[in-house]
Amino acid sequence: MGFAEAMRRGLTQASGSLKMIPSYVGRPTGKEQGTYLALDLGGTNLRVLAVRLDGQGGAATDAASRFVVPQDRMRGEGTVLFDFLADCLSLFFKNHRLDRLSPWELGFTFSFPVAQTAVNAGALLTWTKGFTASGVEGQNVAALLANALARKNLSAISVAALCNDTVGTLSAKSYADPSCDMGVILGTGTNACYVEETQRIEKLNPSLPGKEMIINLEWGNFDHLETNVYDQTLDRASFNPGRQRMEKMVSGMYLGELVRLMVVDMIEQGELLKQKDASAFACPYSVTSEHMAKTFHPDDFFASFGIDDAAGRDGVTIARVCRMVSARAARIAAAAIAAVILRMDKDLGRRHTVAIDGSLYEKYPGFEENMRGMLEELFASRAVNIRLARVSDGSGIGAAVIAAVAAANRPQG
Ligand code: GLC
């Protein structure tokens, strides 16, 4: 089944590899105003922000703190993970001398597949990106956060909105730019969202208000791509075999591992690192996308593994391998963007701005160019109608924007 068909099916009751999750929110108008909190759990990084919206498309970050989620919190008990999130918020209030007793509205970016049932409620379907904390799957994560806030005497904070990072990214960009109708993350994980006409979301109650709604595709789980032996080995050895197949071919968490598997194979076949100590490559996930990016200076790659490649021959080979793996990733991402845009506009007759965030897109040399190249192959001159726009911190700022939208839409009384 192709991507377009999987999207269509995902919007009905039928099950498929694209979940097409309704966000219960449309795009902001740009007129939302006030200061809102954002708590952004993307993976190992946690960000807390206070964002001021000026009501004219301008968003300023008044305060920001970054925390690293320790491995034992990612993989331990769920309550301990949520207590950690609340502790980080406490610290944020303390460090920025903010008043924790006055009422705050918070947008919670939770970058995992969540079956939303309202703008501020939704159950975690399954962990991704290496998280396994117990007792969270199947639970309403907004309520788990609210409970943790209550345990830590932060009850003045109300969880106004829950959103995926893609939805946050789209909302942050479209707050100022109405041509933005798609959000994409290319980082540790990968995913996208877009703007759908509410009446085309068959699985929703047709009486829902609003003409449009943002849909989170969870495209990382798309599973109809042709895989090779390295993709298959990686999947089999992963913590979630059979799931997130496209993510395993595209996102930063996995690209280095694909390279490592190819390197190990080439060493076994006597094509790489002859008579050199290659034991560093025996350990799964020892190669990262940061290492791959170093192949733009060939000798740096092996230097980071303590291997001397003075002759530079192996450097040329590894640079080719990394180019292949990263170019394939970029081309898959761009092809998927093309499919989503064609769903919104089958003739590509108008301008679409795609808001993109994530370290792979931002930092990997040539990634953006490869994506552009693919779009030009697919659409020739019409590709000018697709603008790829980098949005930094979109997932956090966007959560604040969505909290503002949710607060504005909330029934009074
Ligand atoms: C994973 C998550 C998804 C998230 C993406 C990017 O694919 O399942 O919800 O948007 O990573 O962070």
Check whether 209 has a pLDDT greater than 80: no
Considering only CA atoms, which of 192, 141, 202 is closest in space to residue 170?
192
Average pLDDT over residues 62-70: 96
Closest protein CA for atom 12 of ligand 1: 189
pLDDT of residue 298: 67
Model pTM greater than 0.85?
A: yes
Give residue-wise pLDDT tens across range 121-173.
999 999 988 899 999 999 999 999 999 999 999 999 999 999 999 999 999 99
CA distance 375 to 254: 23
The residue with tokens 């989503």 is 340
Residues in Cβ contact with 371 at an 8 Å cutoff, skipping those fewer than 6 apart: 330, 331, 333, 334, 337, 388
| Atom of ligand 1 at shortest range from CA of 244 | 7
Give residue-wise pLDDT tens across range 293-324.
999 876 689 988 988 876 778 889 999 999 99
User: From the candidates 19, 40, 129, 309, which is the catalytic residue?
Assistant: 129
- Whole-number mean pLDDT of the chain? 94
* Three-state SS letters, 194-224: EEEEHHHCCCCCCCCCCCEEEEECCHHHCCC
**Is ligand 1 within 6 A of the CB of residue 330?**
no
Active-site residue, 277 included: no
If phi over 0 gives left and psi between -120 and 50 gives alpha, with beta otherwise, what is residue 75? alpha
Check whether 261 has a pLDDT greater than 60: yes
Is residue 357 classed exposed, middle or buried when 0-12, 13-18 and 19+ CB atoms within 10 A define those classes? buried
The crossing angle, in degrees rounded to 10, of helices 252-268 and 229-237 is: 120
Considering only CA atoms, which of 46, 107, 78 is closest in space to residue 405?
107
If phi over 0 gives left and psi between -120 and 50 gives alpha, with beta otherwise, what is residue 370? alpha
How far, in Å, are 156, 215, 256, 394 from residue 295 at the CA level?
50, 37, 12, 29
Query: Residue 80, CB half-sphere, CA atoms under 13 Å: how many?
Result: 12
Active-site residue, 309 included: no
Measured in Å, residue 218 CA sits from the centre of ligand 1 at: 7
Average pLDDT over residues 82-99: 97
Task: Give kind and range of the element (H or E) at residue 326.
Answer: helix 313-344
Closest protein CA for atom 3 of ligand 1: 112
Where does the pLDDT of residue 364 fall: very low under 50, low under 70, confident under 90, or very high at 90 and above? Answer: very high
Considering only CA atoms, which of 185, 212, 181 is closest in space to residue 194?
181
Where does the pLDDT of residue 223 fall: very low under 50, low under 70, confident under 90, or very high at 90 and above? Answer: very high
Average pLDDT over residues 373-402: 96
Residues in Cβ contact with 192 at an 8 Å cutoff, skipping those fewer than 6 apart: 166, 182, 183, 184, 185, 217, 219, 336, 337, 340
pLDDT of residue 251: 98
Check whether 413 has a pLDDT greater than 60: no
**Is ligand 1 within 6 A of the CB of residue 40?**
no
Percent of the chain predicted with pLDDT > 70: 98
**Is ligand 1 within 6 A of the CB of residue 169?**
no
**Is ligand 1 within 6 A of the CB of residue 113?**
yes
Angle at 250 between CA 249 and CA 251, to 5 degrees: 115
How far, in Å, are 134, 163, 208 from residue 286 at the CA level?
26, 32, 48
CA distance 119 to 121: 6
How many residues does this entry show for the chain? Answer: 413
